[in-house]
Amino acid sequence: MVKLTFHGGVEEIGGNKILLEDQDTKIFLDFGMSFKRRGLYFEEFLSPRTANGMGDFLRMELIPDIPGIYREDLLEHIGRKPKEADIAGVILSHAHADHANYISFLHKDIPIYCGETCKYILDAVQEQSQRTLENEVIDYKKRPIFRSDYRKPPIKRTFRTFRTGKKLTIGPLEIEPIHVDHSVPGSYGLIIHTSQGPIIYSGDIRMHGLHADMTTDFIDAAKKSKPIAMITEGTRIDKEKSNESEKKVHSDSKKEISKCKHLSIVDFNFKDADRFTTFYNIAKELGKKLVISFRHACFLERYHQDKKLQTPNITDENILLLKPKRQTGTYIDGDYTEKYIKKRLQYSNIITAEDIAKKPTKYMVVLNFWYFTTLIDLQPKNSVYIHSLSEPFNEEMEISYERMRNWLNHFDLRFAQSHCSGHIHGSDLKELIQTINPKILYPIHTEHPGMFKKIPIKVQIVKEGKTYKL
């Protein structure tokens, strides 16, 4: 008997936590954080209390209450009896937080299966972020942390990495991960061969990036397997075909930057290695140096380890590292306490905002809104700011967006939006589903599951926590 239970990703974008059971074997497909649900109760200065361990997360239903999946230390902390792990593994489709981050709560004996590049990205995320309960995917510190425990090493999780085409065997399940195109490298769709037949899981997917051929590989293999069921993402099921593409981001952004006779500033998500490549290439083509942050360096160095990504090394002649102003404001070594900065202070390609301001036309600076105070030192004049991120889609984002616009106006920065989505649009998705032709479809990772009913395929609209037998 094969069963599916959806503990997240139901009528929301992300937060996927799908339990698949085949006889006595249980696995999870992703175990992500639900931004929507978290946002119902929490915001920047109102977060779940570390002091209450996983208690606040359970009580506010940010994680499902299931026995045999959570960390022993966290259960003990809230007065529950720790249990042995009852899950054979989590197959992580990709490194986005809405799929990965709540692995942080899982039992140490549950192995995590993910792509090799996905692991590199998780390592980079861990290196430059502060340890919190929601950010302990790679390893965790036993809670509660008493002062005497500060120096104790963290407990490492078991990761088993794969590349496309490799088959994983977990109990009666044989799982084939196949690369797909998405806005982060190391993204996979899955063909899960169960004792009742193959089940397809799309992960997050698109057709208009630089690697649409990878998605095509997935579609071909999924179709050939003659699946009994398919679990698909539907982020943009309500969107029609458009002319967006990564190539268009390149040409539009290049045009804007060419027009600029002063400093060029760009902002994009560094987890998106394709977007990095787009801006790196533009900088090279226009004879500018691309200035990135120490945080970005954590990612770039790992991308470079993956030869297939063909990204430059941190020592590349077209890349510079922006030294942030800290403590004394004099850029002395002693100003930096973060490990990820300290270990890179001796790099030869470090530059300060003041240096950049002397010859602004020579540089293209990657600068996120949260670091806009750097604009005060960069002193841009009639410059351009390329916003290569999605537009705001909720109230909180609107408020930040408004503030960002104020900064841009204050420094006479011309705003240009240039972005393409990480998700397949409705027309392509409908075609993809009909090509794969599963016997039954479970739409998740969407706010519009009802829209899938228009496709001439049997659709099961899922309810959170309900178990579906195949």
Contact residues toward Zn ion (CB under 5 A) are 14, 96, 98, 204
The answer to whether residues 446 and 8 touch, using CB atoms and an 8 Å cutoff, is no
CB of 211 to Zn ion, least distance (A): 14
Question: How near is the Cβ of 64 to Zn ion at its closest, in Å?
Answer: 18
DSSP designation for 413: P
Minimum CB–partner distance for residue 269 and Zn ion (Å): 11
Query: Parallel, antiparallel, or unpaired for β 384-387 and 363-366?
Result: unpaired
**How near is the Cβ of 130 to Zn ion at its closest, in Å?**
23
Q: CB nearer to Zn ion: give 97 or 219.
A: 97
The CB-of-204 to Zn ion minimum distance in angstroms stands at: 4
Q: Nearer to Zn ion by C-beta: 189 or 360?
A: 189
Q: Which is nearer to Zn ion, 11 or 338 (CB)?
A: 11
Closest Cα partner for 282 from 308, 306, 318? Answer: 318
> Shortest approach of Zn ion to residue 95 CB, angstroms?
8
Instruction: Spell 16-39 as b/e; 16+ CB within 10 A means b.
Output: bbbbbbbeebbbbbbbbbbeebbe
Longest dimension (CA), the chain: 69
Q: Which of residues 92 and 404 has its CB atom nearest to Zn ion in the complex?
A: 92
As beta bridge partners, residue 19 has: 5, 28
The three-class DSSP label of residue 147 is helix
- Helices (DSSP H) in 261-371: which residue ranges? 273-285, 294-305, 339-342, 353-358
Using the minimum distance from each CB to Zn ion, give the nearer residue, 88 or 92: 92
Q: Are 294 and 128 in contact (CB under 8 A)?
A: yes
Q: Which is nearer to Zn ion, 98 or 256 (CB)?
A: 98
Report how far residue 115's alpha carbon sits from residue 187's, in angstroms, rounded to the nearest whole number. Answer: 7
Q: Which ranges in 17-166 belong to alpha helices (H)?
A: 35-41, 55-59, 72-77, 97-100, 116-128
Angle between helices 116-128 and 294-305 (to 10 degrees): 160
92 vs 416, which CB is nearer to Zn ion? 92
State the minimum distance, in angstroms, from the CB of residue 268 to Zn ion.
Answer: 15
